[in-house]
Copies of this chain bind each other. A is one copy, B any other.
Amino acid sequence: MHQHTRTDPYSDRYAARAAGMVASEIRALFAVASRPEVVSLAGGMPYVAALPLDIVGDMLGDLTQRRGAEALQYASAQGDPDLRARICDVMAMEGVQGSPDDVIVTVGSQQALDLLTRIFVDPGDVVLAEAPSYVGALGTFAMYQADVVQVALDEHGLDPAALRETLETLRRDGRRVKFLYTIPTFQNPAGVTLTASRRAEILAVCASYGVLVIEDNPYGLLGFDGEPMRALRADDPDNVIYLGSFSKTFAPGFRIGWALAPHAVRAKLVLAAESAILSHSSFSQFAVREYLTTQPWMEQIKSFREMYRDRRDTMLDALAATMPEGTSWTRPAGGFFVWLTLPEGLDSKAMAPRAIANRVAYVPGTGFYAGGHGRRHMRLSYCYPEPDRIREGVRRLATVIEREIELRDTFGTSSAPERPGVHTPGPDTA
């Protein structure tokens, strides 16, 4: 079969870092998955329709009329001081004591990741991440030509013994390790949470090897039981850089995230941000600040939590009721995602087109590994579809998996070749 490739006339002019930039294979899948007849368990979009849009609209109109001359003007590169103060109040709920002066407001926490990688990572430097880890972070690390080494996690989160072993090996090999990137709470994609005792161990291991920790915590306030977990940053201000976001607790449409970093690092981040975007949207910052100041935002988070817990329950019940033997999955205590493991010999990536044909979409596990692993896994999200759709989606998925098992039993397993490269996330996979 002849494959027609469109030639890029600029191909000999790109920088080395651009050579590996290829669109994720799951991108084409997503275009199809967005058809209304497909139940998408793939996206990571929060359910913003649950916000009181009338009230938010009045708030934004009023804000523009009262303070438009500032809200429509350039902002500072570090971000609005009042918003940074409110951000410190939010982090205090997880035990974090931070100064507004050590906060930088970013275009989602994705930009914080980009800026941190920019200031810390030379090509070939090692970055540690969980196996599996957030697809968008892996894409950023690859963009800066980092060598991503992933460390196993289990139902209690990242494994401290595996981390120590990996660091020891890297030290023996003389490798330069720049930081550990971790999502300790309601992990994306695995849906697991690092236990309190492991938190202490992870911090101790990283400190002893002189490795910075980047703690990405977009879901921390979306726990389904009890109080928020204590953040890693709360117990090691000098060695942990904390990333947060209002995308899941308020709305992603303003793209307000942040980093809390030791003072010298924060100063570098501001210079890098100026070079990257000059300043973030003043209007977005005013909008979130106004929301936090005038609206019952903690009540809204409580209501989001209840809605997502209900959807999580729906998904877990549906999985238990329909999944064939040999399939297993995690039981998230918060956040958006369930991580599902297929019966032996099945391949989530090869199966994806057949799932779409059966009108259900998920993200194949391979997206969450730098090296092409993850074929037996998939990420299922329950954040966006309503409960009836979740039930129907899981039912369809179970049917697809059953057919795959039949195929496997009849013809044996097949595996497609891996295609490494920089996989950038769609917003859908955030």
The answer to whether A121 and B77 touch (CB under 8 A), given A54-B65, A252-B282, A278-B425, is no
Copies of this protein in the assembly total 2
Q: Identify which of B8, B254, B274 contacts A426 (C-beta below 8 A).
A: B274
With contacts A118-B15, A271-B422, A424-B271 known, is A53 near B69, CB below 8 A? Answer: yes
Give A146's nearest chain B residue, CB to CB.
B15
Q: Which residue of B lies closest to A210 (CB)?
A: B13
Whether A16 sits at the interface, judged by CB under 8 Å, is yes
- State A10–B267 Cα separation when bound (angstroms): 12
Chain B residues with CB under 8 Å of A238's CB are: 9
Tell me if B51 and A60 are in contact (CB < 8 A).
Answer: no
A1 on the interface (CB 8 Å rule)?
no
**Beta-carbon contacts of A417-430 to B below 8 Å, as 1s and 0s?**
00000101111101
| Cβ-based interface call for A171 (8 A) | no
Q: Which of A262-312 contact B (CB under 8 A)?
A: 262, 264-265, 267-268, 271-272, 274-284, 287
**A21, B272: Cβ atoms closer than 8 Å:** yes
> In whole angstroms, what is the CA distance A16 to B145 when docked?
13
Whether the pair B53, A114 counts as a contact (CB closer than 8 A) is no
Which of A16, A46, A118, A144 counts the most chain B CB atoms within 10 A?
Answer: A118
On chain B, the residues within 8 Å of A279 by CB distance are 108, 255, 427
Binds B, one of A135-143, A153-161, A317-325, A370-378: A135-143
A283–B276 CB distance below 8 A:
no
Q: Interface digits, A400-423 against B, CB 8 Å rule (1 contact, 0 not)?
A: 000000000000000000000010
User: How many residues in A have their beta carbons less than 8 Å from beta carbons of B?
Assistant: 90
Q: Which residues of B contact A262 (CB under 8 A)?
A: 9-10
A57 touches B64 (CB 8 A): yes
Q: Is A388 on the interface with B (CB-CB < 8 A)?
A: no
A22 and B268 alpha carbons, distance in the complex (Å): 8
Task: Determine the chain B residues whose CB is within 8 A of the CB of A196 once the complex forms.
Answer: none
- Kindly list chain B residues whose C-beta atoms are within 8 Å of the C-beta of A281: 107, 253-255, 281, 284
Q: What 0/1 readout, one digit per residue, does chain A (52-64) give for beta carbons within 8 Å of chain B?
A: 0110111011111
Q: How far is the CB of A317 from chain B (nearest CB, A)?
A: 27
Chain B nearest CB: distance from A280 CB in Å? 7
Taking CB atoms and an 8 Å cut-off, the chain A residues in 117-131 that contact chain B are 118-122, 125
Q: Which among A6, A8, A74 has the highest number of chain B CB atoms within 10 Å? A: A74
CB of A183, distance to nearest CB on chain B (Å): 15
Contact across chains for B278 and A430 when beta carbons are under 8 A apart:
yes
Closest B residue to A67 by beta carbon equals B53
Contact of B16 with A122 in the complex, beta carbons under 8 Å? yes
* Bound Cα distance from A198 to B75, whole angstroms: 36
Structural contact, A427 and B18, CB atoms closer than 8 A: no
Q: Does A48 contact B (CB under 8 A)?
A: yes
Contact (A272, B73) CB under 8 Å given A56-B64, A279-B255, A284-B284: no
Show 15 residue pairs from A and B whose CB-CB distance is below 8 angstroms, ordered by the A residue: A10-B262, A11-B264, A13-B212, A17-B122, A18-B268, A48-B68, A53-B68, A54-B65, A72-B252, A74-B253, A75-B427, A108-B277, A118-B143, A274-B424, A283-B284
